[in-house]
Structure 1
Amino acid sequence: MTETVKLKSPIDGSIYAERPVATDPEVNAAVERARAAQAGWAQTSIAERGKYMLAMLEALVSMTDEIVPEIAWQMGRPVRYGGEFGGVRERVSYMVEIAEQALKPVPASNPKDGFRRYVKKEPLGVVMVIAPWNYPYLTAVNTIVPALMAGSTVILKHAAQTLLVGERFAKAFEMAGLPRGVFQNVVLNHGQTEKLLGSGRIDHVNFTGSVGGGRAIEKAAAGTFMTLGLELGGKDPAYVLSDAKIDHAVASLVDGAFFNSGQCCCGIERVYVHEKVYDQFVEGFITETKNYVVGNPLEQATTLGPMAQARFADLIREQKAEALRKGAVAHVNMKVDNDVAGSPYIAPEVLTNVDHQMSVMREESFGPIVGIMKVRNDEEAVALMNDSPYGLTASIWTSDTEHAVSIGDRVETGTIFMNRCDYLDPALVWTGVKDTGKGAALSAIGYDNLTRPKSYHLREEI
């Protein structure tokens, strides 16, 4: 019997899509095509590669009307928010725009008469992208586009929960006329993925997902010496100072906590508020949260759809129950149809009287729940923000830029925001520390992580 991957929709529990898992000969053929195509692709000019990327982008955007409800069916995001193509367009366009400069040879810093000395940035070869379901287009292009622009070929293995996204990418590249073998979408099970990574036939893998998944990737790749890009867990904090513009902070942080049902890599999961503005902030935060409408993501009125899987929602229920047992106070208590154990539908929740003995303040939630703590000063806030095994982003809310920078210098994280959150600027490197993983995406530094240096030391005068 042929093994298949089934996509169970969070909307109604139905099987929305089912695809056969690639056979071992099919996997081998895909790798061979990628390897064979890579040499020719590397000889294609950067400008020409960019034309293919922009044509792919336009092909994707042309499918918006089909893709938006498709995303809702696959992982639950409400259709009212449209697709991800505003961000996709920004990232693709920027990485194409900077490619010539980012990839050009770097001359030696100390010129010597009679010599040409420089470092070229060579493509890695065959790059594998293992993409997540929460922002299935945005996260994938972070590596797909710069890897292709750098001259590598790409094999995409998308999450089972967003199985159809890989097919959309493949169709868009086909519409763009990309040469055969340069980009391929494959459907694999975990065992096949691990086997392929351990084969030594992949030169770089980029994985976005859980810490456990990242460890499995490292273990599978052990001994191959491939390079790795890993974006793993997060527990992103916010610190609201006494001079913050509270209305702006409330609106932004509520959105940062609950957009996409809280299923954001850099979503806000814990908030620390200076005691002088704590009561005002909490009151505003609760009021704003109660405006959410939980329901069927295919309906325009819905602003918060189901989580991608019921087990994710059950984790949020468990974190809330544990926090309440330990003395936390829940403020929203919204009544939602189907908000019961075993259902992906769950209401947003705001907790106060929380502390770091509760899992909701220490362990990744990745759902619509947030704890808010009162703090006395910067020292207490920084200590609490750093009291986490993760470090992706942290946001600081203040009217004093230099003060924000001084606090940010002490926070263990990959990105510091001031007066905003939950956003990737493609001109800035996207990276993390601690259990959030390693590697870097986007910006010119992202290109450095998707190329290898090759030195040229040429004596021209003898």
Structure 2
Amino acid sequence: MTTMQHTVSPVDGSVYVSRELATQPEIQRTLDNAQRAQKSWAATALTERQAICSKAVDWFEAHKDEIGQELTWQMGRPIRYTAGEVGGLAERARYMIEASDQALAPLTLPEKPGFTRYIKREPVGVAFVIAPWNYPYLTAVNAIVPALLAGNSVVLKHSAQTPLCAERFVEAFKAAGLPDGVFQYLHLSHDDTQSIIQSDDVNYVAFTGSVQGGAHVERAAAGRFIGVGLELGGKDPAYVREDADLDVAVETTIDGAFFNAGQSCCGIERIYVHHSIYDAFVDKAVALVNQYQLGRPDDPDTTLGPVVRTGAADFVRGQIQDAVAQGAIAHIDEAHFPASESGTPYLAPQVLTNVDHSMRVMNEESFGPVVGIMRVDSDALAIDLMNDSDFGLTASIFTNDIPTGVALGEQLETGTFFINRCDYLDPALAWTGVKQSGRGCTLSQLGFDAFTRPKSFHIKQL
């Protein structure tokens, strides 16, 4: 039986970090500690919980450079960008700390003679957070901070690709003065992860990952009657109307498609462009993509790093090859990106045209540096194509006609709708998806609901 977990760095294929997987006694001890610590933590004043969370954010900001270096070596994002993930973590955490006063306040009801009535929001208990590697701090903070603010204890299982992120989270909160047992991590096998979901010691599961992984979580939790939050995949579209600012649309959608080597659940994977500006859009998009510098992510000049592993790169290569075999046109010459090499995680970005929805690259999540661009003749066709997907996480429209853009957005099957931007999470807005993009909600004041249960008080005055 495997007892070690090895993280192979996409930078050079070396083992960057190894960790022992938790044993059964360690797992049970962790869950017992979480249950015990949660009771006193729930009784702690919200102001003290807020202060501890704020101090943890301060710790992250003070250590952002070393965190950025670790992140580059664990998952391959260029070093020039990784420290910025701490900035995003801080923005989200500080918003949730500020919002918690109102989000966790009792709900008061209109006066009724002879009665006092109100609804309290009580913590659910122990939250089990399962986090991914692609944005390992940004995704995890969405669940960890509101769970702690609401009075829950948290057990974090991070991706085997980014185990140091779990350790840094717990280190930050320990430095902030969080009581022992309130926030712990475990390095786990898949089987042990499943057994924890099925344990009576866990009261909520927050999972971010693949659709297949989400299905496994749902099956494991079936019959337990606990809350399960699932943030899954995306095949997010953008539509560029004829009245759009062309330069803004190109710059924004291409960054949305290729930042983090396209490894974002809310990255742009499909672009639909009105025929009147289609050729100009494609020319500008190709020129912009050719400006990327593919290379080792520890090089400060690199703007496009490897994907997380060779298998992921081969999957994207296969999508591109299949599309070209079906008639798609590939606009990027791989020779322009000499770091791209078959059999490695380094692959050139690609822009495809003459694509349609029969191609895998237009209907199957890519999670890599490729985007398909289709010509459309009308708003109606664009909306139909944008909705023609098993996913519904975000969708974007680029236009200078805001009222029309909003009206079109009302027709889109998506959790978040953007006008003139994409690939961004505003912490004041609910982060949620439809269809196979998952269920549940994080961020915003609504994001606290999953980590609390309502308790009604009905008091008759004699």
Q: Aligned residue for 2:108?
A: 107
Q: Partner letter of residue 401 of structure 1?
A: I
Q: Aligned residue for 1:375?
A: 376
Q: Partner letter of residue 391 of structure 2?
A: Y
Q: Aligned residue for 2:344?
A: 343
Deviation of the 1:233 alpha carbon: 1.1
Deviation of the 1:334 alpha carbon: 2.8
| Deviation readout 1:382-425 (Å, 9 max, x if unpaired) | 11001000000000000011111111111100000000000000
CA distance in 2, matches of 1:448, 1:173: 23
Contact 2:271–2:372 under 8 Å retained in 1: yes
Q: Aligned residue for 1:146?
A: 146
The correspondence of residues 18-417 of structure 1 with structure 2, limited to 5 A, is 18-83=18-83, 84-108=85-109, 110-335=110-335, 336-337=337-338, 339-417=340-418
Deviation of the 1:445 alpha carbon: 0.4
CA distance in 1, matches of 2:394, 2:416: 5
| Deviation readout 1:267-317 (Å, 9 max, x if unpaired) | 000000011111111111111110000000000110000001111111110
CA distance in 1, matches of 2:64, 2:308: 20
Contact 1:200–1:226 under 8 Å retained in 2: no
Contact 2:9–2:15 under 8 Å retained in 1: yes
- Aligned residue for 1:449, secondary structure, equals helix
CA distance in 2, matches of 1:118, 1:64: 43
| Deviation readout 1:24-59 (Å, 9 max, x if unpaired) | 010000000000001110111111101100111111
| Deviation readout 1:64-84 (Å, 9 max, x if unpaired) | 221111111100000111420
CA distance in 1, matches of 2:291, 2:339: 19
- Aligned residue for 1:271, secondary structure, equals strand
Q: Partner letter of residue 95 of structure 1?
A: M
Deviation of the 1:169 alpha carbon: 0.8
| Deviation readout 1:327-358 (Å, 9 max, x if unpaired) | 00000123234534321001110000000000
Q: Partner letter of residue 104 of structure 2?
A: L
Q: Partner letter of residue 236 of structure 1?
A: D
CA distance in 1, matches of 2:394, 2:439: 14
CA distance in 2, matches of 1:291, 1:53: 40
CA distance in 2, matches of 1:68, 1:316: 26
- Aligned residue for 1:140, secondary structure, equals helix
CA distance in 1, matches of 2:82, 2:215: 34
CA distance in 1, matches of 2:172, 2:196: 25
Contact 1:2–1:20 under 8 Å retained in 2: no
Contact 1:128–1:155 under 8 Å retained in 2: yes
Deviation of the 1:223 alpha carbon: 1.1
Deviation of the 1:190 alpha carbon: 0.2
Q: Partner letter of residue 428 of structure 1?
A: L
CA distance in 1, matches of 2:2, 2:317: 37
Contact 2:72–2:82 under 8 Å retained in 1: no
Deviation of the 1:174 alpha carbon: 1.3
CA distance in 1, matches of 2:280, 2:451: 46
| Deviation readout 1:141-195 (Å, 9 max, x if unpaired) | 0000000000100000000000111111111111111100010011110000001
CA distance in 2, matches of 1:193, 1:81: 31
Runs of 4+ in structure 1 off by over 6 angstroms are none
Deviation of the 1:111 alpha carbon: 2.3
- Aligned residue for 2:383, secondary structure, equals helix
Q: Partner letter of residue 329 of structure 1?
A: I
Contact 1:127–1:204 under 8 Å retained in 2: yes
Contact 2:32–2:201 under 8 Å retained in 1: no
CA distance in 2, matches of 1:148, 1:185: 14
CA distance in 2, matches of 1:85, 1:271: 30
CA distance in 2, matches of 1:399, 1:218: 42
Deviation of the 1:2 alpha carbon: 6.7
Q: Aligned residue for 1:424?
A: 425
Q: Partner letter of residue 127 of structure 1?
A: A
TM-score, normalised via structure 1 length: 0.98
Q: Partner letter of residue 430 of structure 1?
A: W
- Aligned residue for 1:238, secondary structure, equals strand
Contact 2:71–2:82 under 8 Å retained in 1: no
Contact 1:240–1:274 under 8 Å retained in 2: yes
Q: How many residues align?
A: 460
CA distance in 1, matches of 2:242, 2:257: 21
| Deviation readout 1:78-107 (Å, 9 max, x if unpaired) | 011142011111100000001011110111
CA distance in 1, matches of 2:281, 2:2: 55
- Aligned residue for 2:161, secondary structure, equals helix
- Aligned residue for 2:228, secondary structure, equals strand
CA distance in 1, matches of 2:77, 2:241: 32
CA distance in 1, matches of 2:435, 2:111: 39
Contact 2:334–2:340 under 8 Å retained in 1: no
